[in-house]
Amino acid sequence: MSDLRGTERITAVERDGLVLDVVDGGPVDGVPIVLLHGFPDRASAWRRVAPLLHAEGYRTLALDQRGYSPRARPPRRRDYRATELAADVLALVDAVAPAGRVHLVGHDWGAVPAWLLAGHRPDRVLSLTAVSVPHPQAFVTAMVRSTQLLRSWYMLAFQLPFLPERIMGVRSARATRQMVAFGMTEDDVAHFHREILDDGALPTALNWYRAMPLGDPRAMRARVTVPTTMVWSDQDTAVARWGPENAEKWVDAPFRFVELAGVSHWIPTQAPEALAEAILAQVRAS
């Protein structure tokens, strides 16, 4: 259980020669909540959520995931398969709770390894809060049951070599307007420029998408048996409602669907209070 957790600050976790940075905050003896960012973010995506969790006595560990963390950027596509991403998260769980469990929170791409770890290793997970992106199988089904396929056009575009880097790597007023039109604030864009473009993380961050054809479909179908909250926002241009609303079909445990009105895809930075409230409701009930 969660009382079997470590009490030392963790600044990084190593796995298979890769070193992934960790932002460890809040009471060191608090129940741990692991926070997983999406694309194109870093651990700083949780900068407005984490303090709200700390104020309630919880410890947060925001992982700078592979492809993003400077010492964890392998060049090969296959190194970014979802099972590898989930194994990275398990390494962090092992570090913070060597014989216990943690609460998992994942936004966007970060929700994918969270869903997988909750499905395959429920013995290490107290609860799951998935933000924006539903269970992988619900997402696949949504492709034929909703407008999800149209919204996911960029996933196919990201399979192209070099071109996505050239388009996204342009720092211009026009490029900024396009990102704002996709829902990002100017502050979100500034973080993208500084932490992704300037730090050279864009090519390896895109490998999360480029590794999708190499994944194991069976691993993605694991059912989740831990209490789960699914948070989705009605102004999300990337994820249609059907997948999140029907994620419950893949959860054999208490499930709660939370819809945020008037919020874009970038929930952690644009609706931190509402997201923290949903997370706290889940962890307190688990």
pLDDT at position 243, please? 98
> Which residues in the chain land under pLDDT 50?
1-3
* Cβ count within 10 A of residue 223: 15
Task: Extract the tokens encoding 280.
Answer: 């706290």
* CATH superfamily assigned to domain 12-285: Alpha/Beta hydrolase fold, catalytic domain (3.40.50.1820)
Radius of gyration of the chain measured on its C-alpha atoms: 17
What pTM value is reported for the model? 0.96
pLDDT the model gives residue 64: 98
Report pLDDT for 36.
99
Residue 33, both tokens: 């909540």
pLDDT at 177: 81
How far, CA to CA in Å, does 271 sit from each of 25, 189, 194, 202? 20, 16, 22, 25
Query: Which residue reads 């990201």 in tokens?
Result: 158
As a whole number of angstroms, the distance between CA 40 and CA 80 comes to 15
